[in-house]
Amino acid sequence: MIDNIADEIIVTGYAKLPSNITARKLYEVIAVALLVKTQTGEIIEADCTLSTNLAKKFTNDMLKGKCLSDIDDIEYTIDTAYFGSAKKAIKTAVQNCKKRFDSLMDDED
Protein backbone atom coordinates (compact mmCIF):
# COMPACT_ATOMS: atom_id res chain seq x y z
CA MET A 1 0.00 0.00 0.00
CA ILE A 2 1.16 3.53 -0.65
CA ASP A 3 2.63 4.86 2.61
CA ASN A 4 0.89 8.22 2.63
CA ILE A 5 -2.57 7.24 1.38
CA ALA A 6 -5.64 8.82 2.99
CA ASP A 7 -8.18 6.89 5.04
CA GLU A 8 -10.76 7.47 2.31
CA ILE A 9 -10.02 7.74 -1.40
CA ILE A 10 -11.90 8.14 -4.65
CA VAL A 11 -11.33 5.63 -7.42
CA THR A 12 -12.89 5.90 -10.86
CA GLY A 13 -13.72 3.48 -13.61
CA TYR A 14 -15.02 3.93 -17.13
CA ALA A 15 -16.83 1.81 -19.71
CA LYS A 16 -18.49 2.33 -23.08
CA LEU A 17 -22.24 2.89 -23.03
CA PRO A 18 -24.65 1.16 -25.42
CA SER A 19 -25.41 3.35 -28.43
CA ASN A 20 -29.18 3.21 -27.97
CA ILE A 21 -29.54 4.86 -24.54
CA THR A 22 -30.03 8.49 -23.52
CA ALA A 23 -26.82 8.72 -21.51
CA ARG A 24 -24.88 7.90 -24.71
CA LYS A 25 -26.21 11.13 -26.23
CA LEU A 26 -24.49 13.01 -23.40
CA TYR A 27 -21.40 10.84 -22.87
CA GLU A 28 -19.51 8.24 -24.88
CA VAL A 29 -18.65 6.36 -21.70
CA ILE A 30 -20.06 5.92 -18.24
CA ALA A 31 -17.89 7.12 -15.40
CA VAL A 32 -18.30 5.56 -11.97
CA ALA A 33 -16.64 7.23 -8.99
CA LEU A 34 -16.43 5.43 -5.66
CA LEU A 35 -15.49 6.89 -2.29
CA VAL A 36 -13.80 3.97 -0.55
CA LYS A 37 -12.34 3.28 2.91
CA THR A 38 -8.74 2.29 2.24
CA GLN A 39 -8.44 -0.12 5.17
CA THR A 40 -11.54 -2.18 4.33
CA GLY A 41 -12.46 -1.45 0.72
CA GLU A 42 -15.98 -0.49 1.81
CA ILE A 43 -17.81 1.78 -0.63
CA ILE A 44 -18.98 4.84 1.31
CA GLU A 45 -20.59 6.60 -1.63
CA ALA A 46 -20.92 6.12 -5.38
CA ASP A 47 -21.66 8.45 -8.28
CA CYS A 48 -21.99 7.89 -12.01
CA THR A 49 -22.77 9.69 -15.25
CA LEU A 50 -26.14 8.11 -15.95
CA SER A 51 -28.65 10.55 -17.41
CA THR A 52 -31.33 10.59 -14.68
CA ASN A 53 -31.03 11.53 -11.03
CA LEU A 54 -33.06 8.47 -10.05
CA ALA A 55 -30.62 6.12 -11.79
CA LYS A 56 -27.66 7.90 -10.18
CA LYS A 57 -29.26 7.69 -6.72
CA PHE A 58 -30.20 4.04 -7.25
CA THR A 59 -26.64 3.21 -8.28
CA ASN A 60 -25.31 4.94 -5.16
CA ASP A 61 -27.78 3.11 -2.91
CA MET A 62 -27.02 -0.21 -4.63
CA LEU A 63 -23.23 0.10 -4.16
CA LYS A 64 -23.02 1.88 -0.81
CA GLY A 65 -21.85 -0.45 1.96
CA LYS A 66 -20.51 -3.06 -0.46
CA CYS A 67 -16.86 -4.09 -0.31
CA LEU A 68 -14.67 -3.87 -3.40
CA SER A 69 -12.93 -7.10 -2.40
CA ASP A 70 -16.24 -8.95 -2.94
CA ILE A 71 -16.77 -8.11 -6.60
CA ASP A 72 -18.98 -11.19 -7.03
CA ASP A 73 -21.46 -9.79 -4.49
CA ILE A 74 -21.41 -6.41 -6.21
CA GLU A 75 -22.03 -7.98 -9.61
CA TYR A 76 -24.83 -10.15 -8.18
CA THR A 77 -26.48 -7.04 -6.72
CA ILE A 78 -26.25 -5.23 -10.06
CA ASP A 79 -27.57 -8.29 -11.94
CA THR A 80 -30.57 -8.71 -9.64
CA ALA A 81 -31.46 -5.05 -9.05
CA TYR A 82 -30.51 -2.97 -12.10
CA PHE A 83 -32.43 -3.62 -15.30
CA GLY A 84 -31.46 -0.54 -17.29
CA SER A 85 -29.64 -0.70 -20.60
CA ALA A 86 -26.38 0.45 -18.97
CA LYS A 87 -26.09 -2.66 -16.74
CA LYS A 88 -23.05 -4.13 -18.51
CA ALA A 89 -21.32 -0.74 -18.63
CA ILE A 90 -21.91 -0.18 -14.90
CA LYS A 91 -20.48 -3.61 -14.09
CA THR A 92 -17.42 -2.98 -16.25
CA ALA A 93 -16.84 0.48 -14.75
CA VAL A 94 -17.08 -0.94 -11.20
CA GLN A 95 -14.67 -3.74 -12.14
CA ASN A 96 -12.26 -1.05 -13.36
CA CYS A 97 -12.66 0.80 -10.03
CA LYS A 98 -11.74 -2.43 -8.24
CA LYS A 99 -8.66 -2.89 -10.44
CA ARG A 100 -7.55 0.66 -9.67
CA PHE A 101 -8.16 0.19 -5.94
CA ASP A 102 -6.28 -3.13 -5.89
CA SER A 103 -3.40 -1.54 -7.78
CA LEU A 104 -3.16 1.27 -5.22
CA MET A 105 -3.30 -1.14 -2.29
CA ASP A 106 -0.64 -3.40 -3.83
CA ASP A 107 1.76 -0.53 -4.57
CA GLU A 108 4.93 -0.62 -2.54
CA ASP A 109 4.04 -3.64 -0.41
Q: Consecutive sets of 10 residues in the chain, 109 residues long: mean pLDDT of each? A: 84 88 71 96 96 94 97 97 92 97 81
What's the whole-model pTM score? 0.88
CATH code of the domain in which 89 resides? 3.90.1010.10
pLDDT at residue 19, as a whole number? 77
- The answer to whether residue 82 is domain-embedded is yes
pLDDT at residue 25, as a whole number? 63
pLDDT at residue 93, as a whole number? 97
pLDDT at residue 108, as a whole number? 46
Domain that holds residue 36: 8-106
pLDDT at residue 28, as a whole number? 78
Q: How far apart are CA 75 and CA 2, in angstroms?
A: 27
pLDDT at residue 59, as a whole number? 96
pLDDT at residue 51, as a whole number? 83
Using DSSP's 3-state secondary structure scheme, residue 81 falls into: helix
Using DSSP's 3-state secondary structure scheme, residue 30 falls into: strand
Number of domain units in the chain = 1
